[in-house]
Amino acid sequence: MIAEDGNKENSRPSKVKSGSKGHGRRIMVALLVLAAVAAVVAGYWYFYLRGWVSTDDAYIDCDPISISSKILGRIVELAKEEGDTARASEPLAFLDSVDLKAQEAQANASLQFIEQSVPVAEVNLRKAKEDFKRAEQQFKGDVITQEQYDHARLAMQLTQAQYNAATSQVVSARSQLGVIQTQLRNMCIIAPKTGIVAKKWVVAGDIAQAGQPIYTLYDLSNIWITANFEETKLASIRVGEPVQIEVDAFPGHKFAGKVLSIGAAAASEFSLIAPNNASGNFTKVTQRVPVRISVSETKPGDQKTFLPGMSVIVRLRDQE
């Protein structure tokens, strides 16, 4: 029994030594891994980020074209679907024009009736002028009285006023007809310029209000990149500076561009709720300023691969 106890006591130090050695190796491996990670991060910074200014808060941008009706009307036909190409002056939508066509027919009939009254008024005016001319000569020869002379003069003035009123009514009726014809032309909604239908906001049968969007078009021949840089990086950016562009939709492809302009205000100034720093609860936040960047090179063989809203990473040399 005493011998067995001695053997157990002798085996305990060897176990402790082997355990400490294993723990030391694990610490050494962890330190080596951390050193390797630090080396990779340092190399990435030195070769990729050092001397560069970059941001991933960037996207493809383009001027949207909002297509809307000028007047109230029910949509009877939509000629385009999302993704279709709309050419300049091509019809996009048609509104119900039955009521306006009836008003046009009524206005035409009214105009014809009024135009027929002009020759009658002209004949009466010519007759009144001749009567007054004779009355004037007779009054000078003391053939008629002052009262008869005044009656002839007033009759001429009356017929002159009637003739002027008739011609004015013709002008008014033509103007009214022109308004109705203009509204009829507005029943057909056309594309102001060539673009891609990005969004259709209504369906046939809906009532379109004046100014309500019906389509949204994008002119993909004129695109750019809006990159929101931190205000602390603006000193490193110059207009005309070349830019490297990476689009998430095309991994492995690098595109070229240049800085077109730097925003005149921070993006927060144009938010729906403008920041109010007059209160006592103020937290300083680094603001971002939009920078417009042109795209001088797109994917080979395709000029319409960039779509508005695509995420982009831009990099440019630090000019400080």
Residue 27 lies in a domain: no
Closest-CA residue to 132 (of 108, 113, 157, 162): 157
Instruction: Tell me what pLDDT residue 317 has.
Output: 81
Residue 25 lies in a domain: no
How far does CA 224 lie from the centroid of its chain? 14
We report the CATH number of the domain holding residue 230 as 2.40.30.170
Together in a domain, 76 and 185: yes
SS3 percent helix, strand, coil of the chain, rounded to 5, is 45, 30, 30
Rounded to 10 degrees, the C-alpha dihedral 8/9/10/12 comes to: 90
Residues 84 and 149 in one domain: yes
Query: How far is residue 164's CA from residue 68's CA, in Å, rounded to a whole number?
Result: 41
Please state, as a whole number, how many other Cβ atoms lie within 10 Å of the Cβ of residue 6: 10
| 3-class DSSP assignment, residue 106 | helix
Do the beta carbons of residue 245 and residue 312 sit within 8 Å? yes
Q: Which of 167, 199, 231 is the last residue of a domain?
A: 199
The pLDDT of residue 261 is: 92
Band the pLDDT of 31: cuts 50, 70, 90. Answer: confident
Domain count for the chain, please give it: 2
Domain that holds residue 240: 52-65+219-317
Asked if residue 6 has pLDDT above 70, the reply is no
Pairing of strands 255-262, 91-95: unpaired
Instruction: Specify if 6 maps to a domain.
Output: no
- What average pLDDT does this structure show over 133-152? 89
pLDDT > 80? residue 39: no
Phi/psi region, residue 298 (left: phi>0; alpha: psi -120 to 50; beta: rest), is beta
Boundary-marking domain end, from 139, 169, 199? 199
- Residues 154, 277, single domain; the answer is no
Whole-number Å distance between alpha carbons of 132 and 62: 73
Residue 23 in this model has a pLDDT that exceeds 70: no
Where does the pLDDT of residue 103 fall: very low under 50, low under 70, confident under 90, or very high at 90 and above?
A: very high
d(CA 290, CA 58): 9
Position 8 scores a pLDDT of 47
Chain segment 46-95, per-residue pLDDT in tens? 555 556 888 999 999 998 999 999 999 999 999 999 999 999 999 999 99
The answer to whether residues 117 and 168 belong to one domain is yes
The overall average pLDDT reported for the chain is: 85
Indicate if 135 and 224 belong to the same structural domain. no
Residues 191 and 289 in one domain: no
What whole-number distance in Å separates Cα of residue 219 and Cα of residue 191?
Answer: 11
Q: Are residues 58 and 71 in the same domain?
A: no
Q: Read off φ and ψ for residue 281, nearest 5 degrees.
A: -90, 90
Residue 19 lies in a domain: no
Return the residue matching tokens 């417009």. Answer: 292
Report pTM. 0.68
pLDDT at 307 over 70: yes
**Rounded CA gap, 74 and 9, in Å?**
99
pLDDT score for 281: 67
Query: Is residue 39 in some structural domain?
Result: no
Residues 301/253, Cβ–Cβ less than 8 Å: no
From first CA to last CA, the distance across the chain in angstroms is 83
Q: What is the CATH number of the domain that holds 184?
A: 1.10.287
Last residue of a domain, one of 164, 199, 234: 199
The pLDDT tens digits of the residues spanning 122-140 come to 999 999 999 999 998 998 8
Asked if the structure places residue 37 within a domain, the reply is no
pLDDT reading at 209 higher than 70: yes
pLDDT at 301 over 50: no
Q: Give the up-direction half-sphere exposure of residue 65: CA atoms within 13 A in the CB hemisphere.
A: 19
- Residue pLDDT, tens place only, 253-283: 889 899 999 988 888 777 777 666 666 666 7
Domain assignment present for residue 41? The answer is no
- In this structure, the answer to whether residues 171 and 232 fall within a common structural domain is no
Q: What is the reported pLDDT for 21?
A: 61
Considering the domain architecture, whether residues 235 and 191 belong to the same structural domain is answered as no
Task: Provide mean pLDDT across the span 229-236.
Answer: 88
Residue 177 within a domain: yes
At 218 the pLDDT is 93
